[in-house]
Structures are given as C-alpha cells and as structure tokens.
C-alpha cells in the first residue's frame, strides 16, 4: 500500500510540474495513458531517456532527459543552441519548437490537440510527422528516438530582414 501511495504522490507532483510548464495536457496523458496506479502495470520510473537531435547543420546531438519532461524542457535543460527554439516557453503561442520525428517514433506519440495543430499550421517545413516539442513528454518507450530540427523556424520576434 505504501508503494501505491508513493506512486500517487509522484504522479501528483509530476502533474503539478507539467501544469507549471503549461504542458499539462500532454504530460497528463503520458502519466495516465495505459497505466493504472493501483494495478500491477509498470510504475513510473526516474530512468533517463536518450534523445538524439539532428540540428539544422546535420550534426547529431545526443542528450538525456527525465520521463515526463517535454522535449522543450530537454533542449532548455541541456542548453542546446537551436536558434529561436521555444520562444513562447511552451505556452502554445508559437511554432518555434517544431520538430520532425521518424515515422516509427511518431506513431508512439500521443494525439495532437486542436491547439497544437493550429500552431503547427504556422511552422516552416511542416511534414506528416511534425509535432511541437513542448507538447511531447518523454517516456521510456521513446528512449533512443531521433528527432530533426527543421532547417528554418517561424519566429515572430524577428523582423522581415531576419534581424532581432
């Protein structure tokens, strides 16, 4: 019983953290999708998840994040230099955290919300496997995934001549 209580507390803390980051919808879905806190299914773990980013120059950058962190959190926490990435800090007010996923990984991601679709409509280089990094929370099933940063970004903070 103590284990169930501990897992519930962990889930509540994780949900509050996701809410603070304004990604509660996708993180909450991650915490509850296919997992019962009281049944014999896998408990939440703190193991790190490996993410392989392919930056705009084609360079592969491998980092680790914690389950429940969004991909935007990973980029910020690891201080990755993706110019203009995450301008709205995960509030679903821009498309600067647009990422392109491999087909296999894309199928593992949760559903796209209407709000995310609206923002993806503004993204440059949109593909069938595009998602916003602020809406994708890490799970162990995503360990080792490869995501590509598009060649350009739609950043409303820049003027028409490209200056800030």
Q: What is the pTM of this model?
A: 0.68
Helix, strand, or coil (residue 52):
strand
Task: Give 113-142 pLDDT, tens digit per residue.
Answer: 999 999 999 998 999 999 999 999 999 999
Q: In the structure encoding, which two tokens stand for residue 85, read together?
A: 């990435």
DSSP state of 64: E
| Whole-number Cα distances in Å, 65 to 16, 39, 87, 164 | 18, 27, 20, 30
Q: In the structure encoding, which two tokens stand for residue 84, read together?
A: 């203009």
DSSP state of 63: E
Enumerate the domain spans of the chain: 49-148
* Contacts of 32 by beta carbon, 8 Å cutoff, 6+ apart: none
Predicted pLDDT of residue 16: 37
CATH topology of domain 49-148: Ubiquitin-like (UB roll) (3.10.20)
């Amino acid at each position: 019983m103590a284990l169930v209580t501990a897992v519930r507390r962990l889930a509540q803390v994780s949900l509050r953290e996701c809410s603070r980051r304004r990604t509660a919808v996708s993180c909450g879905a991650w915490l509850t999708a296919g997992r019962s806190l009281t049944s014999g299914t896998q408990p939440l773990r703190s193991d790190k998840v490996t993410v392989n980013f392919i930056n705009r120059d084609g360079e592969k950058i491998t980092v680790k994040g914690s389950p429940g962190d969004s991909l935007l959190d990973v980029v910020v926490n690891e201080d990755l230099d993706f110019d203009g990435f995450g301008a709205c800090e995960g509030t679903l007010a821009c498309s600067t955290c647009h990422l392109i996923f491999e087909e296999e990984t894309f199928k593992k991601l949760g559903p796209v919300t209407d709000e995310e679709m609206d923002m993806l409509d503004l993204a440059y280089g949109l593909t069938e496997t595009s998602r916003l990094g602020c809406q994708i929370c890490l799970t162990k099933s995503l360990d080792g995934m490869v995501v590509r940063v598009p060649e350009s970004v739609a950043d409303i903070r820049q003027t028409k001549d490209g200056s800030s």
